[in-house]
């Protein structure tokens, strides 16, 4: 596996393959890799990519003041081993000063979708995400890129950016990969103590409750939100940031759930912020954004 840290080298690596008509696939990550990240390579393979790569970059411009940028887990050598094992061809690990040199001032802002859910609590976060993804696209020039639905709002925002700016990258989306007890895999799970970890299982439990609750009847969002909050509140460790029921395409709140809605949750367990989501309703198709 080629480890590439410099922007010009990354460009020439990709160009070499693209010239030959090969399909280059990219999984953008912040590292501390787990099965959730690795599953996205299957999505790229399904999309016919034959040169597979990841980027590992803890992106400073998507963290707000007081968030965990400095403490975000970094595990480069283990990450490289995992990537090698699954047959990754290259990993791009750029240096922050190369991507954001002094004087940097151009950002991508996906305006409406960024206002909802996490956007209300993390000012500038999605602007930081959209900007780094755009930069990775222009440097790596992937044929296809894969993103996880665990970060549903992020996936929707990138999908919108690609559409709005006519970006020539095929997007692939992977389902949320979970631990045996249902907790969504996340690099931040390693911050959790064992009692935190137990409390965290109430997140998937509450999603599953809502899924069942909405399976064969129209339900009011208020009832769903109350039920989810009740399950989460069984554990004193959990502080709820939001529980919302929204339209899965616009992220606007909905009053009732008939066919399909997105239930999205953000909580703090101690200082660790966790998010999760599920499609609920009577018609819970797995496909996203009509793709």
User: What is the set of active-site residues?
Assistant: 37
Q: Kindly state the smallest distance separating residue 251's Cβ from ligand AMP, in Å.
A: 16
Instruction: Closer to ligand AMP by CB, 176 or 221: give it.
Output: 176
Interface with ligand AMP includes 251 (CB under 6 A)?
A: no
Which pair of tokens denotes residue 40? 């996205």
Cβ contact 181:199 at 8 Å? no
Name which of residues 184 to 223 contact ligand AMP (CB under 6 A): 184-187
Residue where the block lists tokens 């030959």: 20
Tokens of 235: 């554990």
Among 10, 25, 36, 266, binds ligand AMP (CB under 6 A): 36
What's the full length of the chain, in residues? 291
Q: Which residues pair with 25 in a beta bridge?
A: 52, 144
DSSP conformation letters of 236-263: TTEEEEEEEEE-TTT--B-SEESS-EEE
Please report whether residue 43 would count as binding ligand AMP according to CB under 6 A. Answer: no
- Residue 229 CB-density burial (10 A; 0-12 exposed, 13-18 middle, 19+ buried): middle
Site for ligand AMP in 123-162 (CB under 6 A): 147-148, 150-151
- Token output for 117: 């859910």
* Shortest separation between residue 220's beta carbon and ligand AMP, angstroms: 30
Which of 153, 176, 202, 206 touches ligand AMP (CB under 6 A)? 176
CA–CA dist 209, 214 (Å, integer): 9
Q: Which stretch binds ligand AMP (CB under 6 A): 30-38, 41-49, 92-100, 260-268?
A: 30-38
Where do contacts with ligand AMP occur on this chain (CB under 6 A)? 29-30, 36-37, 39-40, 147-148, 150-151, 174, 176-177, 184-187
């Amino acid at each position: 596996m080629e480890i590439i840290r410099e922007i010009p080298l990354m460009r020439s690596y990709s160009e070499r393959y693209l010239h030959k008509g090969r399909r280059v696939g990219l999984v953008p990550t912040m590292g501390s890799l787990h099965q959730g990240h690795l599953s996205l390579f299957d999505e790229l393979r399904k999309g016919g990519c034959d040169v597979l790569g990841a980027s590992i970059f803890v992106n400073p411009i998507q963290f707000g003041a007081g968030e965990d940028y400095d403490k975000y887990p970094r595990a480069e050598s283990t990450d490289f081993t995992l990537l090698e094992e699954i047959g990754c061809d290259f990993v791009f690990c750029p240096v922050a000063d190369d991507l954001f040199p002094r004087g940097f001032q151009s950002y991508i802002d996906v305006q409406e979708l960024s206002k909802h859910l996490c956007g209300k609590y993390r000012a500038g976060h999605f602007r930081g995400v959209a900007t780094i993804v755009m930069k990775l696209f222009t440097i790596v020039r992937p044929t296809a890129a894969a993103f996880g639905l665990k970060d549903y709002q992020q996936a929707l925002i990138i999908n919108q950016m690609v559409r709005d700016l006519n970006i020539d990258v095929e997007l692939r989306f992977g389902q949320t990969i979970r631990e045996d007890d249902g907790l969504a895999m996340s690099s931040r799970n390693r911050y959790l103590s064992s009692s935190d970890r137990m409390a965290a299982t109430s997140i998937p439990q509450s999603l599953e409750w809502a899924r069942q609750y909405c399976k064969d009847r129209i339900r009011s969002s208020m009832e769903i939100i109350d039920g989810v909050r009740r399950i989460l509140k069984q554990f004193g460790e959990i502080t709820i940031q939001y529980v919302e029921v929204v339209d899965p395409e616009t992220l606007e709140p909905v009053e009732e759930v008939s066919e399909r809605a997105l239930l999205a949750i953000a909580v703090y367990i101690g200082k660790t912020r966790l998010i999760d989501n599920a499609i609920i309703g009577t018609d819970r198709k797995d496909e996203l954004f009509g793709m």
